[in-house]
Structure 1
Amino acid sequence: MHKKKLVVFLPAHNEEGNIAKVISRIPREPHPDWQVEVLVIDDGSTDGTVEEAKAAGAEHIVSFARNRGLGAAVREGLASCVRLGADIGLMIDADNEYPAEEIPNVVAPIWEGRSDYTMGSRFKGSIRGMRLHRRLGNYCFTLLQALLLRRMIWDGQSGMRGFSRLAMEHAEIIHDYNYAQVLTLNLVRKGFRMEEVPITYQVRQQGESFIKFNKYMTNVLPAVWKEMRRPVSRKRVAELKKARAVALRKVSMEK
């Protein structure tokens, strides 16, 4: 039987103290029908991130010559997963805050054909160590997405997300700074099915987050506005749904 390829990709910038820990927590044989590979998108790191990733067992490294931003790194991660022949892609932050051992749970809805796009939800699961101002920021941006999409969303800023191949092929991230909001808006508006999976979350113990409130607001809000103004072709959505149905039939035949 042909094994399904799951590529776990980590966008990383100066995470030499954390990235090996994340890679070591990734289940390599979560299912007998899965082949798991690790991909690191090095966003212009100036420390030993790449060396630590290689030593920890990452099969693939893509390095940017300079720091381009998290949005650019995730965009490259999705494109690289497609080039590597991934059936499913799983993005996880390289800061060791998200539970890599729970990857099988996060991709299960995609594997089972129930979803095209999954998010590991901290607020449906458990959170340790998150400060009040970060909680409030997460709540506000999540509420904004929920209102724009007219559906319930628990955790719109999750750094742990799963993608079907079709979702990876058609996902668009319109700015380099970040991806969290615009990616969900883009995929859901195109008709891709989204599901949130409860996860456990621990705020980073080492290193520093790139997020600074003023810069985040001035970059993210205009990008959300731009994404929502982009037209979504009903014909294109219908084509995507048809392609998804074909892909699901293929999956069911191979099981």
Structure 2
Amino acid sequence: MRLVAVLIPAHDEEATLGELLARVGRVRVPGCRLLPLVVDDGSGDGTARVAREGGAMVVRHPGNRGLGAAVRTGLRAAVRVGADAVAYLDADLEYFPEDIPALLEPVLSGRADYVLGSRFRGGGARRMRPHRLAGNLLFTALLAALARRLITDGQTGMRAFSREAAARAEIVHDYNYAQVLTLDLLRKGFRMEEVPVRYRPRRHGESFIGWRYPLKVLPAIWRELRSP
């Protein structure tokens, strides 16, 4: 039986994490055992406690380092525990853990090493708030141009990795991971696919994405492009 780590970075997500882990626990992927892996990125609430109560393996940052750093830590931890594949999703219940089997299918079948769960292919993009939709379209277009391939949802918070892709992934930015990770894996020759996933706007807490997002992400993309 193959081991799949379900990577969930979380910062002050006590309100949503319990329900998310309960739903992950009901997901079945034939031939696989799912291990929830929560990276608590310096939360000030009960995120770590809720994660442990929900049966997750917990890795904790002593302070808030950023989403990119949390994903980096989580991928390393997943490889360290022997995961054959990794499914990643945000902790805020914007994505549906019930879509994990479809997300993993290209990886588990050997067809792809890296999978993006596309809200545009799944119809969920129409539920995005207007400013988030505009930003997503802009950054996805930039990513597609730099990668020289069709990408419909470059900012998705639901992804899957083969063990090798998880082991070799490099994230050069602590604040965010979305664009630099895709560019990194594509430049290393990993095969990528997109699959449709569902989406709904978050009902609790606030997103880390704000007006400063481009000011931090664009230099990170430039750094990734210049890296050997």
TM bucket (normalised to shorter chain) is: over 0.9
Q: How does 1:65-76 map to 2 (within 5 A)?
A: 65-76=62-73
The answer to whether the 8 A contact 2:27-2:98 is kept is no
4+ residue runs over 6 A deviation:
none
Where does 1:6-155 land on structure 2 (aligned, <5 Å)? 6-28=4-26, 30-58=28-56, 60-127=57-124, 129-155=127-153
- Show the counterpart of 2:221: 224
Cα deviation digits, residues 194-234 of structure 1 (max 9, x gap): 00010110010111111112x21111000001101112xxx
Residues of 1 paired with 2:135 and 2:30: CA distance?
40
Partner Cα distance (2:112, 2:30) in 1: 21
Q: How far apart in 1 are the matches of 2:25 and 2:42?
A: 27
Amino acid at match of 2:132: R
User: Structure 2: how far apart are the matches of 1:217 and 1:225?
Assistant: 12
The alignment partner of 1:19 has SS state of: helix
Offset of residue 71 of structure 1: 0.3
* Identity level (%): 54
Verify the 8 A CA contact 2:4 2:34 in the aligned structure 1.
Answer: yes
d(CA) in 2 for partners of 1:27, 1:52: 14
Indicate the residue corresponding to 2:206 in structure 1: 208
Deviation for aligned residue 1:50? 1.0
1:170 aligns with 2:165: no
Residues 14, 47 of structure 2: 8 Å contact kept: yes
Cα contact 1:110–1:163 (8 A) shared by 2: yes
Q: What CA distance in whole angstroms lies between the structure 2 residues aligned with 1:105 and 1:193? A: 17
- Aligned CA distance change for structure 1 residues 163 and 109 (closer, same or farther; 3 Å): same
Contact kept in structure 1, 2:119 and 2:196, CA below 8 Å? yes
Which amino acid letter does the alignment assign opposite residue 53 of structure 1? A
**Is 1:179 aligned with 2:177?**
yes
Secondary structure of 1:123's aligned partner: helix
Which one-letter code corresponds to 2:104 in the other structure? V
* DSSP 3-state at the match of 1:192: coil
Mapped to 2, the partners of 1:177 and 1:14 lie a distance apart of: 16
Contact 2:27 2:97 in 1 (8 A): no
One-letter amino acid of the counterpart of residue 79, structure 1: R
Shift of 1:29: 5.6
Name the SS of the counterpart of 1:118 in structure 2: strand
Whether the aligned pair in 2 keeps the contact of 1:41 and 1:62 (CA below 8 Å) is yes
Partner of 1:244: none
Alpha carbon RMSD of aligned pairs, Å? 1.1
SS of match in other structure, 2:33: strand
For each residue in 1:38-74, what CA deviation from the matched residue of structure 2 results, as whole angstroms up to 9, or x when unmatched?
Answer: 110000000011111122221x100111000000000
The corresponding residue for 1:245 is none
1:226 & 1:203 partners in 2: Cα distance?
31
TM-score, normalised on structure 1? 0.87
Q: Which has the higher Rg, Structure 1 or Structure 2?
A: 1
Partner of 2:186: 188
Gaps of 5+ in 1: 232-255
For structure 2, list consecutive stretches of 5 or more residues without a partner in the other structure: none
